[in-house]
Amino acid sequence: MVVLGLLPPYTLEDVKRAYLDKAKKVHPDRGGTVERFRQLQEAFEKARQYTEFHKDRRSWIAARMNEYIEVQNVVQRLQEYGAEVTTHSNDWLAKSLGDFAQLTEAIVAVRLVDSPAVDEMIHFMVTEPAPLTPLERLELPGCQLSDETVLQLVMFQRLQFLDLSRTPISRRAVSVAKVLPALETVVVEGTSLGWWAKYRLKSLLQRHRESRPVTPFGV
């Protein structure tokens, strides 16, 4: 609230208005810096969660409880395939929400190694897109991936890291990087990809990193 320049009592409308006003001044396109804008984004997200929670605790908890149960069901299913699943909760919410902060848990990384059942797992993942929307990292080294399965990963628009090392993919599979704008790293060591395909992939990912926009949280 200090970063946003707000004094109590706080409303969600106050938070959004203060954020938009400050964003006009600190956005990199308006002469600000990426770091200052990132700090403003973080302050806005914290303030938004805080005001939503305190406005109607019961509704907030009920909504997050359903999402939490859905996430846990997906985690359990992925683990049944043999995957390691990493989740992340908004730790900063613990000061305001206590144990309820756990309800913000999200799946951010999935790792499956040397599995012949990877196509089946990915098929399950794309049929459960909501709990996996925050997915940022997917590691599938040594798995028996088909090109068609890799192309299904277009569902995960926040994906930043993809490990396809030692998989039987072709250059058709890595074309998925063209439609995943957040993707910055693709590991393809131990595949049949030639130097030209690797070079084009590297160039594409570099363009992703250079052109990645600085965008505000949903307002």
- Looking at the domain assignment, is residue 57 inside a domain? no
Q: CA-CA distance, 38 to 27, in Å (whole number)?
A: 9
Nearest to 217 by CA among 58, 80, 46, 61: 46
Cis (ω within 30 of 0) for the bond into 9?
Answer: yes
What total of structural domains would you count in the chain?
1
More confident residue, 139 or 181: 139
- Looking at the domain assignment, is residue 56 inside a domain? no
Model confidence pLDDT, tens digit, residues 143-176: 999 999 999 999 898 899 999 999 999 999 999 9
Q: What is the mean pLDDT of residues 133-141?
A: 95
pTM for the whole structure: 0.71
Query: Domain of 90: which CATH number?
Result: 3.80.10.10
- In the prediction, which pLDDT does 139 show? 97
Strand 137-139 versus strand 185-187 pairing type: unpaired
For residue 38 the two structure tokens come to 């990132």
User: Which residues constitute the domain of residue 195?
Assistant: 84-211
More confident residue, 58 or 81: 81
Q: How many CB atoms lie within 10 A of CB 70?
A: 13
Amino acid letter for position 30:
R
